[in-house]
C-alpha cells in the first residue's frame, strides 16, 4: 500500500486524517476526486531549506510548475520565498498573489517575444538563458525597451542525474541549457553586452534526485567554467543549482538538505568562489508529501487473471503513473477487516494507460475511499480535461480547518472558451 507521507497524516479510530480533519468528512463535503493538502507539511518542508541555508548567502525560489495553486504560492510568498517560473501564465499567477518581481527567476527553453516583453515590463529579477538565440532575442528586446535585465546562463554540464529519462535534464542529449563547451564564449559576449547584466551561472540536471553526488559533479563542472571566466576578468555574483531534490515515494532514501548545502558551500570555498550567492529552486520536495488525491471506488471487477478497483479518479487527474510509470502510495481511508486482495487501481478514462497503481494489496471494496498520497507535486498541475472530465477541486487543511482553494469544474467550464460558428 504505502506509508503515511508525513507526520501530519495519521489514522485515528481507523480513519485517515489530514492534520485534524477526517478525510472521509472532506469527501462528503467536497466530493471526489479531490486534492487535499496539509499546510503544515508545506511549511515544514520550506523550513528545512531555510534552516539549511541560514548561515549562507542564498536565494530560495519555489518552482511553480510543481503545484501552482494560488493558496500554496501565497504560503511561500509570506515566508519570503521567490519563484521560479517557466511561462507567462506562471508569471501572472505569482504576481496575482503579490510576489516581488525582483524575486522571480524566469526559466524555460522557449520564451516567446510576448513573454519576454511582459516579464521585462513587470521587472522580473532574473532571466535564465538557455540558448544563444534566446540571448540574442532578449538583448534585442531589452534594448528596444530601454532596460537592462539581469541574466543567468543555464549551462548543460553533461552530468547523469540517474533519474527517469523523462526528467533528466543535464545530459548533452537533452534540450536544456547551453552546451558546456560553447558556454565560455557566450558568457564572454554577455559580459560586454550593454543590453543585459550578466549576474550568474546556472544548471539544473534533473528531478527526483535521491543522491547529491550528481549536484556535486555539476558544481565541479561549473567551477571549471568560473575559473576560466575569472582568468578572463569576469566575476559573477550568483550560482544557481536549480531544484530536483527527491522525495520518498516508496523506499527511496533521500539525504538531508544540509548535506547538499554543506557540500556545495565546501566546493565553492575550496575553489575561491565562496562569495557567490547560492540560488536553489525546489518544487517537488516542498509540496509532494503535502498532497493526496482522494478518490472513491466505483466497482470491484474480477477477471480470470486480474482484480481491478475502478475509481472515479483517472489519468487526467493524476498522470504521473501513466506518464512515468511512477509508483504512488495508495492507502484506504478507513481501516477495516475486509479481506485484502491484490488489485490494480484504475480509473474511468478510455485508455489502457489509465492506472493509478498496479499489484497493490488493499482491503478496498465498492463504495470505499482511497487516498493516492505523495501527490502534491505534479498532480493537479499536470491535470487535464481529457474525456471531457472536470478538473477536481482542491482543499487546504490547516489544523482543524479546511478551506476550498479551487472549485471543481462545472460542466459549463468544459466549453467556456469554445465557439460554434453561426453558419454550422
Please give the pLDDT value at position 166: 41
pLDDT band at 1 (very low <50, low <70, confident <90, very high): low
Cα 212 to Cα 124, 403, 415, distances in angstroms: 30, 37, 46
pLDDT band at 220 (very low <50, low <70, confident <90, very high): very high
The answer, yes or no, to whether residue 411 has pLDDT greater than 60, is yes
Residue entry with cell 530560495:
60
Residues carrying an active site annotation: 350
pLDDT tens string 277-331: 999 999 999 999 999 999 999 999 999 999 999 999 999 999 999 999 999 999 9
pLDDT tens string 197-210: 999 999 988 889 99
The answer, yes or no, to whether residue 175 has pLDDT greater than 90, is no
SS3 269: helix
Query: How far apart are the C-alpha atoms of 246 and 260, rounded to whole Å?
Result: 12
Spell out the domains of the chain, with CATH numbers in brackets.
Answer: 9-38+288-415 (2.40.37.10), 107-282 (3.20.20.10)
In this prediction, residues 234-243 reach a mean pLDDT of: 96
Please give the pLDDT value at position 173: 55
pLDDT tens string 37-74: 999 999 999 999 999 999 999 999 999 999 999 999 99
Please give the pLDDT value at position 85: 98
Lowest-pLDDT range, 9-18, 116-125, 330-339? Answer: 330-339
Bond preceding residue 225 cis, omega within 30 of 0 = no
The answer, yes or no, to whether residue 396 has pLDDT greater than 80, is yes
In this prediction, residues 28-36 reach a mean pLDDT of: 98
pLDDT tens string 301-311: 999 999 999 99
The answer, yes or no, to whether residue 369 has pLDDT greater than 60, is yes
**Across the chain, what does the average pLDDT equal?**
94
The answer, yes or no, to whether residue 180 has pLDDT greater than 90, is no
Please give the pLDDT value at position 170: 42
Please give the pLDDT value at position 2: 67
In this prediction, residues 358-385 reach a mean pLDDT of: 95
pTM across the whole model: 0.94
Name the strand (E) or helix (H) holding 77: helix 70-78
Exposed e or buried b for every residue in 313-352, given b needs 16+ CB within 10 A? Answer: bbbbbbbbbbeeebbbbbbbbbeeeeeeeebbbbbbbeee
Please give the pLDDT value at position 168: 44
Q: Are residues 309 and 345 in contact, defined by beta-carbon separation less than 8 angstroms?
A: yes
Query: How far apart are the C-alpha atoms of 98 and 131, rounded to whole Å?
Result: 30
In this prediction, residues 120-138 reach a mean pLDDT of: 97
**Percent of all residues in the chain with a pLDDT value above 90, rounded to a whole number:** 88
Query: How far apart are the C-alpha atoms of 198 and 27, rounded to whole Å?
Result: 51
Amino acid at each position: 500500500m504505502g506509508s503515511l507521507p508525513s507526520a501530519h497524516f495519521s489514522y485515528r479510530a481507523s480513519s485517515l486524517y489530514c492534520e485534524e480533519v477526517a478525510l472521509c468528512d472532506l469527501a462528503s463535503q467536497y466530493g471526489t476526486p479531490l486534492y487535499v493538502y496539509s499546510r503544515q507539511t508545506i511549511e515544514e518542508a520550506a523550513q528545512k531549506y531555510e534552516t539549511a541555508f541560514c548561515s549562507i548567502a542564498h536565494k530560495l525560489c519555489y518552482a511553480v510548475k510543481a503545484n501552482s495553486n494560488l493558496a500554496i504560492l501565497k504560503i511561500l510568498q509570506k515566508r519570503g520565498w521567490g519563484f521560479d517560473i517557466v511561462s507567462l501564465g506562471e508569471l501572472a499567477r505569482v504576481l496575482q498573489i503579490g510576489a516581488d518581481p525582483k524575486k522571480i527567476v524566469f526559466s524555460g527553453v522557449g520564451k516567446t517575444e510576448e513573454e519576454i516583453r511582459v516579464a521585462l515590463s513587470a521587472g522580473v529579477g532574473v532571466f535564465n538563458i538557455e540558448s544563444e538565440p534566446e540571448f540574442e532575442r532578449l538583448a534585442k528586446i531589452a534594448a528596444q525597451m530601454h532596460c537592462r535585465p539581469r541574466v543567468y546562463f543555464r549551462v548543460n554540464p553533461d552530468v547523469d542525474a540517474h533519474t527517469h529519462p523523462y526528467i533528466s535534464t543535464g545530459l548533452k542529449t537533452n534540450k536544456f541549457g547551453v552546451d558546456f563547451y560553447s558556454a565560455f564564449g557566450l558568457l564572454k559576449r554577455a559580459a560586454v553586452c550593454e543590453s543585459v547584466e550578466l549576474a550568474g551561472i546556472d544548471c539544473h540536471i534533473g528531478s527526483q534526485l535521491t543522491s547529491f553526488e550528481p549536484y556535486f559533479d555539476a558544481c565541479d563542472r561549473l567551477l571549471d567554467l568560473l575559473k576560466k571566466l575569472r582568468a578572463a576578468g569576469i566575476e559573477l555574483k550568483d550560482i544557481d543549482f536549480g531544484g530536483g531534490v527527491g522525495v520518498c515515494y516508496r523506499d527511496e532514501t533521500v539525504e538531508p538538505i544540509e548535506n547538499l548545502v554543506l557540500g556545495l558551500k565546501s566546493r565553492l570555498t575550496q575553489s575561491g568562489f565562496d562569495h557567490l550567492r547560492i540560488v536553489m529552486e525546489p518544487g517537488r520536495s516542498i509540496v509532494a508529501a503535502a498532497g493526496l488525491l482522494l478518490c472513491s471506488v466505483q466497482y470491484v471487477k474480477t477477471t480470470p487473471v486480474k482484480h481491478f478497483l475502478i475509481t472515479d479518479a483517472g489519468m487526467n487527474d493524476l498522470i504521473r503513473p501513466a506518464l512515468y510509470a511512477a509508483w504512488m502510495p495508495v492507502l484506504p481511508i478507513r481501516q477495516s477487516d475486509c479481506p485484502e486482495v491484490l488489485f490494480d487501481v484504475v480509473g474511468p478514462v478510455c485508455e489502457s494507460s489509465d492506472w493509478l497503481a498496479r499489484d497493490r494489496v488493499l482491503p478496498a471494496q465498492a463504495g470505499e475511499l482511497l487516498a493516492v498520497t505523495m501527490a502534491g507535486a505534479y498532480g493537479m498541475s499536470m491535470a487535464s480535461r481529457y474525456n471531457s472530465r472536470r478538473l477536481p477541486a482542491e482543499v487546504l487543511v490547516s489544523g482543524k480547518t479546511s478551506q476550498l482553494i479551487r472549485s471543481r469544474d462545472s460542466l459549463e467550464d468544459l466549453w467556456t472558451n469554445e465557439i460554434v460558428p453561426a453558419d454550422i
